[in-house]
């Protein structure tokens, strides 16, 4: 009972300090800015696919028809032109456009692909491969014959062909990243700020002459930061994606993530004497922990060390909580990694904290 009473009292004290130091106000202001940005500044649709300008100069129209069929199916933009002048003019328009010019008879078609110059090698090769596939189809050859000139063919089987593909609007797709950076990482500066204000006021010295333990102090601090994370995450979620998030998953996930970040901060902050000294490592910590945000929008960017960060599975778990696809492994994987990190970091925080309190006599 004594332990529970101390925990409640410590948490209540921390929350009072958070409110009266205007930390809560700062968190709510940042949340409001994020809401405004997501609702009014970030577009709902950001199409990063290039528009394709097609000039079918074969006289058969087969290339144009094939492109219309394929580009239409993939939701891309297709601009069909009828002569060289229109082709050059269309490609000269500033923007993300590539050109396909087809010449020659049906069996001897020749293609010229035009790029702006900024396209990646991967994009260029993909387009070239697509046209090779077309040529193979028109020519009636077996692209998977292993002759070296064609492409292998693949049979595709769709288990649930009628299942709707969940593709959230771009502005809403940003929400998991916003929650990662604002709510989950709220403790990086605020937990440290609270700690340094206590060191400055020497209140920890008084705390140490009471029966309460360092572990109780740290648990309460982590919980207080977890609550602050929820206070930030709830309005952001309600005012951007509304009620349709998976709340029973989202709230514990944000709470746990904030606790983990706070525990890490409690270890790090002990190594520095002031919030000024701590600022640089804190910025580095934020930068590293938000790197999985790049992978979130560019899945091809996922080196092993980025995947090892607790924020990597977290950002995808948050996406799953906001836009459920039924991939429970994302959630359990992230929760498992967070719990493991907490189990490793929290005892370290207790040890370093206890040692620093005695050595530096704060």
Partner 1 sequence: MIHVSELYHSYTKDQSYAVRGVSFGVERGEIFGFLGPNGAGKSTTQKILTGLLPLQRGEATVVGKDVRTYGRELFNRIGVSFENPNLYRKLTGLENLQFHASLYDVPTADPMTLLRRVGLEDAAGRRAGAYSKGMQQRLVFARSLLNRPEMWFLDEPTAGLDPTMTQIVKSIIVEERERGATVFLTTHNMHIAEEMCDRVAFINEGEIVAMDTPRNLKLSYGNKLVRVEYRDNGGLHQQLLSLTDDGERAELQRIMAEETVETLHSQEATLEQVFIKVAGRGLQG
If one asks whether residue 273 binds partner 1 (CB under 8 A), the answer comes out as no
DSSP state of 169: -
CA atoms within 13 A on the CB side of 20: 8
* Candidate list 49, 125, 205, 244; residue touching partner 1; CB under 8 A: 205
Sign (positive or negative) of CA dihedral 130, 158, 69, 52 = negative
> Could you give phi then psi for residue 222, rounded to 5 degrees?
-65, -40
* Candidate list 50, 64, 153, 201; residue touching partner 1; CB under 8 A: 201
If one asks whether residue 202 binds partner 1 (CB under 8 A), the answer comes out as yes
| Alpha-carbon torsion angle 78, 81, 86, 92, nearest 10 | 20
Residue 90 makes CB contacts below 8 A (sequence gap 6+) with 53, 79, 81, 97, 99
If one asks whether residue 360 binds partner 1 (CB under 8 A), the answer comes out as no
Scanning 1-9, 99-107, 261-269, 284-292 for contacts with partner 1 by CB under 8 A, the matching segment is 1-9
Scanning 17-25, 106-114, 148-156, 160-168 for contacts with partner 1 by CB under 8 A, the matching segment is 17-25
Of the two residues 219 and 233, which places its CB atom closer to partner 1 in the complex? 219
If one asks whether residue 13 binds partner 1 (CB under 8 A), the answer comes out as yes
- Is residue 102 helix, strand or coil? strand
Of the two residues 56 and 198, which places its CB atom closer to partner 1 in the complex? 198
If one asks whether residue 277 binds partner 1 (CB under 8 A), the answer comes out as no
Greatest Cα pair distance in the chain: 92
Name the residue among 331, 359, 139 with its Cα closest to residue 254. Answer: 331
- State the nearest-atom distance from the C-beta of 14 to partner 1, in Å: 10
The binding track of 208-227 with respect to partner 1, each residue x by CB under 8 A or -, is xxxxxx--------------
* Candidate list 17, 181, 184, 241; residue touching partner 1; CB under 8 A: 17
- State the nearest-atom distance from the C-beta of 202 to partner 1, in Å: 4
Residue appearing with tokens 């360092």: 214
* Candidate list 203, 302, 352, 356; residue touching partner 1; CB under 8 A: 203
How many Å apart are CA 56 and CA 217, to the nearest integer? 73
Region of residue 163 (phi > 0: left; psi between -120 and 50: alpha; otherwise: beta): beta
Scanning 40-48, 93-101, 136-144, 197-205 for contacts with partner 1 by CB under 8 A, the matching segment is 197-205
CA 123 to chain centre: 23
How many Å apart are CA 137 and CA 180, to the nearest integer? 46
Of the two residues 44 and 358, which places its CB atom closer to partner 1 in the complex? 358
Residues 20-59, interacting with partner 1 (CB under 8 A): 20-21
Scanning 9-17, 183-191, 223-231, 325-333 for contacts with partner 1 by CB under 8 A, the matching segment is 9-17
Beta pairing, strands 110-114 & 97-103: antiparallel
- Give contact residues for partner 1 (rule: CB under 8 A): 2, 5-6, 8-9, 13, 16-17, 20-21, 198, 201-203, 205-213, 358, 361
């Amino acid at each position: 009972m004594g332990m529970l009473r101390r925990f409640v009292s410590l948490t209540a004290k921390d929350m009072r300090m958070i409110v009266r130091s205007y930390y809560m106000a700062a968190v709510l202001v940042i949340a409001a800015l994020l809401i405004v940005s997501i609702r009014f500044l970030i577009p709902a649709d950001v199409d990063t696919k290039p528009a394709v300008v097609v000039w079918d100069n074969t006289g058969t129209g087969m290339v144009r028809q094939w492109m219309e069929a394929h580009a239409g199916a993939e939701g891309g933009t297709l601009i069909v032109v009828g002569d060289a002048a229109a082709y050059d003019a269309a490609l000269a328009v500033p923007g993300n456009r590539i050109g396909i010019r087809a010449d020659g008879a049906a069996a001897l078609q020749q293609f010229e692909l035009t790029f702006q110059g900024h396209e990646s090698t991967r994009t260029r090769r993909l387009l070239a491969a697509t046209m090779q596939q077309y040529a193979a189809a028109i020519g009636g050859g077996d692209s998977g014959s292993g002759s070296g000139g064609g492409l292998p063919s693949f049979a595709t089987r769709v288990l649930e062909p009628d299942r709707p593909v969940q593709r959230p609007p771009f502005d809403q797709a940003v929400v998991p990243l916003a929650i990662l950076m604002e709510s989950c990482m709220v403790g990086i500066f605020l937990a440290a700020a609270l700690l340094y204000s206590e060191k400055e006021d020497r209140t920890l010295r008084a705390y140490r002459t009471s029966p309460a333990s360092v572990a109780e102090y740290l648990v309460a601090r982590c919980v207080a930061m977890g609550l602050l994370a929820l206070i930030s995450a709830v309005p952001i979620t309600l005012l951007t994606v509304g009620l349709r998030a998976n709340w029973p998953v989202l709230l514990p996930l944000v709470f746990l993530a904030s606790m983990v970040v706070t525990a890490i901060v409690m270890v790090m902050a002990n190594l520095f004497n002031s919030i000024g000294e701590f600022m640089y490592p804190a910025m580095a910590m934020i930068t590293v922990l938000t790197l999985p945000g790049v992978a979130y929008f560019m899945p091809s960017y996922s080196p092993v060390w980025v995947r090892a960060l607790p924020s990597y599975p977290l950002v995808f778990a948050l996406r799953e909580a906001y836009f459920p696809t039924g991939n429970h492994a994302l959630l359990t994987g992230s929760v498992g990694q967070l719990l493991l990190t907490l189990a490793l970091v929290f005892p370290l925080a207790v040890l370093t904290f206890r040692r620093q309190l005695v050595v530096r006599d704060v």
